[in-house]
Structure 1
Amino acid sequence: MESIATDSGKIVKMEVDYSATCDEKIPECERLAKSGRLHDALDQLLALEKQTRTGADMASTGRVLVAICRICKEAGDWAVLNEHIVLLTKRRSQLKQAVAKMVQECCTYVDQAPDKETRIKLIETLRQVTEGKIYVEVERARLTHKLAKIREEESNIQEAANIIQELQVETYGSMDKREKVELILEQMRLCLAKQDYIRTQIISKKINTKFFDDDGTSDLKLKYYRLMMEVDQHEGSYLATCKHYRAVLNTSSIMSDPAERQAAAQAVVLYLILATHDNEQVDLTHRVLQDKVLEEIPMYKKLLKLFTTPELIKWSGLCELYEKELKSTPVFSGDEQAEKRWNDLK
């Protein structure tokens, strides 16, 4: 017989199989609820739930828990639904897998809620009962993301960022890698939205960039590097920004689009000439000069070569040749940061 874990972590063995009783009782209670006798139906199902739980019949307990929630939702009584979610998870020796089934079912109700207030109340109830329970950590993370999105739509960026930051998704063993990265990127995005650059930098370290080597991750790769550009542009870390653009350039969707490819290559060159002249910058300059993409933008290749010569560059001469072109790029036009970059180039 199968061993089943209770919520307290105790291992119990199934003693009685209640599947036949459930086959008979659940449809009976559903009919009762539809006829307007919701509370009578709930009383009968709660009595059945006690039997299946004490008999350690996990499959049947899960079915009963789901049925209780479903009839509350179908009756449109969302307050009673919330009440029963809490009640059922607090039952003595409640079975983990049964709670997981109920939580998964209730997660599908969130988008069916009649209004925003009801939706938020259901999300908060589910977040409350899943707190600290590893076996429903993925569901809790998704609910938390939904709540953060609602707060963001209300323009409450601070609260949205705080809500999503409480998730330690990098430790979740049961969550798919892609979903983990998506949620960490959301944490970064909301942190940036409230201009918390230091925390964004800390969160970014949770992502191993080797993940982006896999096929099918290019959308997330571009999202990640664009967020990192925002952080490093704010910090004035030009060499780091240059490297982010190189990573973007090395993405199939960018390489296959001539306009995108050339724009990224231009940014690589411009941030590279803005970077402090040191060994790393010199080394990267020589590598970039060998890049075939620069053949498509000869003016930028010529400009970069100019910065490899030992002679001093005359600012007026540089402006005469390049100012008009450079000031038409996003690197040197559009905002105060661009203006600062132009002054840094001087």
Structure 2
Amino acid sequence: MSEAHLKPEKDYSKDADKIIPEAQELAKTNVQAAIDKLAVLEKQARQASDLATTSRVLVTIVTICKEAGDWSLLNDQVQVLSKKHAQLKQATTKMVQTVMGFLDETPNLETKLSVIDTLRTVTEGKIFVEVERARVTRILSDIKKSQGDLNAAADILCELQVETFGSMTRREKTDFILEQVGLCLERGDYTQAAILSRKINKRYFARKPKKTPEQLEKERKELEEREKTRAADEPPPEKDEDVTDLKLRYYYQQIQLANHDHNYLEVCKHYRDVLDTESIEQDPEKLRAVLARIVYYVVLAPYDNEQHDLLHRIQQDKRLSLVPVEARLLKLFTVHELMRWHEIVENFGPQLCSTDIFDAELDPANPDAFQRWQDLRKRVIEHNVRVVAKYYTRIEFGRLTQLLDLDEDETERYVSDLVTSKTIYAKIDRPARIVNFSKPRDADDVLNEWSSNMRSLLNLLERIDHLITKEEMMARIMPKKGKA
């Protein structure tokens, strides 16, 4: 049974109504005497398990210290009161929450840090104040970050395992983890950032269907009923709240992580998740920017079955009409036709290089943009090699280099890379200067193909026979012309 439901052995509320005002008046002249007077009442209420009175006394003591401006005494009292034998947990929680409210009123940073240190000390290892400890730790982390000590800020915040906190709301947990990931990204610790981001379940950000007024009213009544029966130490019931801000923070962090590893396909998927957000869909400028990036990154992704499927699904999105230049670029990668790199540069270069995604010239401040420009050229060449492999079984090496607009070394390298990745089959006969794209087949393959072709032919013949028989039967049952 929680402390809130324990019946006190004796009710000291009337004593508190009398002693607390007297102590507050005495504190104007003698703070220590006022605290001593309240300490007697605190002991009596604590031993009688009178939670309400104990909480009032603890809050009054720390408030008297704060109003007197004696922050050192406040720190001492917080530690002493929290260590009292059989101290009531909820009373301690109330005291810690009250002192947290004093942080903005501290006279200087040094005093504020001392109070934070005290709060972190008295809350360490105590589950019933884990949320308060997390919030104080975040304040300390923000202070360290503002002072420029990014490593200390990240270390302080990342020591918290907030995903295990049962009394913290899901939204606050997610916000904490996103803050941890953000600090790791700022200091360049991408490995730790990736580990921390896996603690967030993406289903939390799933777009929920809009509810009818009747459903909303029903949920409101259910929440009210649950609130009435909820114990004082239980977290409030979760509500269906808007998490768009958390969703966008999460996916933009994931985009940053994927970009660091040059995992363009994952970046494209994350932008598609960003696109599936109401605030993005309703803002034409943001919608166009996200659509353009989806096209850029799916084109940059290395070819495989997943990329090929995603490429065609993106092309079917009618909203691509908002970004006509990117739509034309995407279409070039979906048809089996050769692309000329110089034409790509001429037709799409100005538009692509006007974004922060591409840069045709090496910029020391943004080397990744230049790398993506080089990767785009690589994807164009790989596309051309696949097109050639589709239409040719054998081709002279000189003719292949002419079709690809490359020299012989580059041509051999790109063909070899695609063969290694098993995207195409090819063999290069250097003495004869011939590239063979036809895959040799053994007797089993030939026989299987012949058997499949014969089965298809017989199925067609059977279908034709059935249709002829059907027509003959229909002709017999139809009345002849000229007969009644």
Report TM bin, short chain. Answer: over 0.9
Q: CA RMSD in A?
A: 1.6
Deviation at 1:210, TM superposition (A): 1.6
Aligned residues: 339
- Give the drift of 1:76: 0.5
Which TM-score applies when normalising by structure 1?
A: 0.94
In structure 2, C-alpha distance between the alignment counterparts of 1:40 and 1:99, rounded to whole Å: 22
Distance 1:149 1:225 in 2: 23
Whole-Å separation in 2 of the counterparts to 1:210 and 1:220? 12
Q: Does 1:290 align with 2:290?
A: no
Partner of 1:4: 3
2:372 & 2:290 partners in 1: Cα distance? Answer: 17
Once the two structures are aligned, what percentage of the paired residues are identical? Answer: 48
Report if aligned partners of 1:3, 1:13 keep a CA contact under 8 Å in 2.
no
Instruction: Name which structure has the greater RCO, CA cutoff 8 Å, separation 6+.
Output: 1
Match of 2:19 among 25, 31, 35: 25
Cα distance in structure 2, aligned partners of 1:297 and 1:12: 65
- Cα distance in 2 for partners of 1:255, 1:117 equals 47
User: How many angstroms apart in 1 are the aligned matches of 2:88 and 2:322?
Assistant: 64
1:132 aligns with 2:125: yes
Residue 166 of structure 1 and its aligned partner are, at CA, apart by 1.1
CA distance in 2 between partners of 1:216 and 1:42 (Å): 46
- Give runs of aligned pairs for residues 233-272 of structure 1, distance below 5 A: 233-272=259-298
In structure 1, the partner of 2:242 is 216
* SS class of match (1:345): helix
1:68-107 superposed matches below 5 A: 68-107=61-100
- 1:198 CA displacement: 0.8
- Secondary structure of 2:3 counterpart: strand
Q: Measure the CA separation in 1 of the matches of 2:344 and 2:2.
A: 77
- Structure 2 Cα separation of the partners of residues 171 and 291 of structure 1: 41
What's the offset of the Cα at 1:12?
A: 7.3
Partner of 1:179: 172
Q: Counterparts of 1:218 and 1:3 in 2: how far apart (Å)? A: 36
Q: CA deviation at 1:43?
A: 0.9
**Structure 1 residue 237: deviation in Å?**
0.7
CA distance in 2, matches of 1:148, 1:251: 31
Contact 1:69 1:85 in 2 (8 A): yes
The letter of the residue matching 2:288 is Q
The aligned residue for residue 10 of structure 2 is 16
How far residue 206 of structure 1 moved from its aligned partner, in angstroms, is: 1.1
What is the match of residue 8 of structure 1?
none
Unmatched segments (≥5 aa) in structure 1: 6-10
Partner of 2:30: 37
> Which residue of 2 is the match for residue 329 of structure 1?
355
Per the alignment, residue 103 of structure 2 pairs with 110
Residues 123 and 143, structure 1, Cα contact 8 Å, conserved in 2: yes
Question: Which amino acid counterpart does residue 3 of structure 2 have in structure 1?
Answer: I
Structure 2 unaligned residues grouped into runs of 5+ = 209-240, 360-364, 378-484
User: Who is 2:372 aligned against?
Assistant: 341
Give, in angstroms, the shift of residue 313 of structure 1: 2.6
Task: Indicate conservation of the 8 Å contact 1:4/1:14, yes or no.
Answer: no
Q: Which moved more, 1:74-83 or 1:316-325?
A: 316-325
**Per the alignment, in what secondary structure is the counterpart of residue 68 of structure 1?**
helix
State whether structure 2 residue 251 is matched by structure 1 residue 225: yes
Letter paired with 1:304 = L
Task: Output one character per residue of 1:141-198: Cα deviation in whole Å (capped at 9) or x when no partner.
Answer: 1111111100000011000001110111111111111111111110011010110001
1:33/1:71 contact within 8 Å kept: yes
Structure 2 counterpart of 1:185, one-letter code: L
The residue type equivalent to 2:88 in the other structure is L
Are 1:62 and 2:58 counterparts?
no
Match of 1:149 among 142, 149, 152: 142
Which structure: larger Rg? 2
Instruction: Give yes or no for contact 1:69–1:102 (8 Å, CA) kept in 2.
Output: yes
